[in-house]
Structure 1
Amino acid sequence: MTVAFEAPRLVDAVDVARAALVAEGEQPGAHTGARAEGDYAATHYFDAELPGYRGWQWCVVVAGAPDSAEVTVSEVALLPGGGALLAPDWVPWVERIAPGDLGPGDQLAAPADDPRLVPGQIDTEDVSLIDADEIGQVDAEIGLGRRRLLSFEGRTDAAQRWFDGEYGPASAMARNARHSCGTCGFYLPIAGALHSGFGVCANEFAADGRAVSVEYGCGAHSDVTEPSGAGSPAYDAFDDGAIEIVAQAVSGAADA
């Protein structure tokens, strides 16, 4: 008996819900629907005609006691509708930061448990087998080295990133180059375990100062030969020093 009486009465209480919004200083739009929330409550929805809130709606919850004819307002809220403009999902800064975001004066701390780094006293085998005079990381064991060093995982990640990046063998520049960096006089191999795979370009007109793959290449290789300057082999050189005498010009000069 209560259900048959209370729910329809609350669903029909459109004027009460609208008055609650007006009392809050709002100007609700058209009533878009109502829904019973059990036996003693109902929710009413109105278009929210607010600048910047396209697709949002006002939500007003009304209630009524079974032994009273009074309808009261329980809650008023502004909620997004199906086509509402919403802010993107929040993403922690550590997942948002991207290469190039760091600017002058900014500080970016590596997490204490960063898998790319290990304590300085751990030997990560970052020793070049080519440069026999390198002492590796022995200096760290006696307190002279860096506090943290690249782990094997961190070194592998960097190598893969460089290999797949703009200065790797798969880039458009490398695919159209005749020579590779490994045979270039401007190529400076880096020290450590990545010695055989990467170096730094010292050509100011090419990838100057960049870490490049030994398989990368560009058109500024040290073995590129200069143009001969012999001109086009298909046509004879044009002599622009020849003087052409025009009869009309000579006649005009005589008349003058």
Structure 2
Amino acid sequence: MHLVTPRSASTTAPSDTVLLGAVDLAREVLLEQVDATDVGAATAAVLEGEHVVTHYFACLRAGYVGWTWSVTVTRAVDSDLVTVDEVVLLPGEDAIIAPQWVPYKDRIRPGDLSPGDLLPVEEDDPRLVPTYSFGDDPLDADAKAQVRQVAKDLGLGRVRTLSPEGIDLAAQRWHDGDGGPDTPLAQSAPAKCFSCGFLLRLSGHLAETFGVCANGNANDDGRVVALGHGCGAHSEAQLSKKQQPLPPAEHAHDTLTSDELETL
């Protein structure tokens, strides 16, 4: 076992020989909570601060490779009576731990929703803004209810609409996706979507950047595509001479009579 002084500990804190020597007490308390077969040798004693030391023991429990038992002890300033603060099982650098929790709404991917599934957006979703607003100040619950009522009364059709941030996120996602200009399909295309007769232009902020493919024979039919995207189903695509199918051979006429066939 060795003594470790962490950087966070005070450099002026004196070495506490009483707490550093309380290895047996730390192990005894640890064995009251876990099986003896799960506890290995003492590996370190860390001086956490004045009158606070943590003793570490190797963890031998199956499935916990790289983990360490931690027992923190302390004592009063004028007393040699050692007391235990906590017993914790901690992961080391090589420990196998569960991945960081990702909320369900952040794990959803396109195609995951089934019929009947609901994915409500948060009230303060930055991708959406009220269709009709009283100003730029944050709205409380009552004000938001009034905004929705005004939008309904005005017949705007939608209580909320895309915010500039929501538009930018969608544009970046579409640009980087399968309908963007950098895909292998687009790079090998004879021409770009902006000159294709099957392109339906979007309206609004994205009109000069994206459209929807309306070619039923194309891979992107019904999908948003960047104007710099392209594919082999472009309306003006032409086959080169070497790509054109060979014309059928001329018909061969059999002129032999049955008599001539017998003499062969």
Using the size of structure 1 for normalisation, the TM-score is 0.65
Task: Please say if 1:24 is aligned against 2:40.
Answer: no
Report deviation, 1:29: 0.5
CA distance in 1, matches of 2:123, 2:188: 43
CA distance in 1, matches of 2:230, 2:221: 13
For the residue of structure 1 that corresponds to 2:70, the secondary structure is: strand
2:113 pairs with one of 85, 103, 107: 103
The amino acid across from 2:89 in the alignment is: L
2:221 pairs with one of 202, 208, 215: 208
Task: Please say if 1:171 is aligned against 2:183.
Answer: yes
Q: Structure 1 residues 221 and 85, CA, compared in 2 at 3 Å: closer, same or farther?
A: same
Q: Which residue of 2 aligns with 1:184?
A: 196
Larger Rg: 1
Task: Please say if 1:51 is aligned against 2:62.
Answer: yes
2:94 pairs with one of 67, 73, 83: 83
Q: Give CA deviations for 1:26-46 in whole Å, capped at 9, x if unaligned.
A: 221011133456675543221
Report deviation, 1:49: 1.0
Task: Name the % identity.
Answer: 45
CA distance in 2, matches of 1:44, 1:187: 69
Cα RMSD over matched residues?
Answer: 4.0
Task: Please say if 1:194 is aligned against 2:206.
Answer: yes
CA distance in 1, matches of 2:26, 2:253: 97
Q: Give CA deviations for 1:187-241 in whole Å, capped at 9, x if unaligned.
A: 2223444344322212233211101123321011233346643269xxxx79999
CA distance in 2, matches of 1:13, 1:57: 18
Report deviation, 1:103: 1.5
Instruction: Show the 5 A alignment for 1:148-167.
Output: 148-167=160-179
CA distance in 2, matches of 1:162, 1:119: 24
CA distance in 2, matches of 1:8, 1:100: 61
CA distance in 1, matches of 2:188, 2:19: 75
Q: Which residue of 1 aligns with 2:148?
A: none
For the residue of structure 2 that corresponds to 1:29, the secondary structure is: strand
Q: Structure 1 residues 119 and 56, CA, compared in 2 at 3 Å: closer, same or farther?
A: same
Q: Which residue of 2 aligns with 1:230?
A: 246
CA distance in 1, matches of 2:217, 2:206: 25
> What is the aligned length?
218
Q: Structure 1 residues 57 and 205, CA, compared in 2 at 3 Å: closer, same or farther?
A: same
Report deviation, 1:83: 3.3
**Where do 5+ consecutive residues of structure 1 fail to align?**
123-138, 243-256
For the residue of structure 2 that corresponds to 1:57, the secondary structure is: strand
Q: Give CA deviations for 1:69-104 in whole Å, capped at 9, x if unaligned.
A: 76554432222334333444455666x446427412
The amino acid across from 1:188 in the alignment is: L
**Where do 5+ consecutive residues of structure 2 fail to align?**
1-13, 134-150, 255-264
CA distance in 2, matches of 1:157, 1:72: 55
Indicate if the aligned counterparts of 1:120 and 1:145 stay in contact, CA closer than 8 A.
Answer: no
CA distance in 2, matches of 1:115, 1:78: 40
Indicate if the aligned counterparts of 1:31 and 1:45 stay in contact, CA closer than 8 A.
Answer: yes
Using the size of structure 2 for normalisation, the TM-score is 0.63
Indicate if the aligned counterparts of 2:131 and 2:156 stay in contact, CA closer than 8 A.
Answer: no
The amino acid across from 2:245 in the alignment is: G
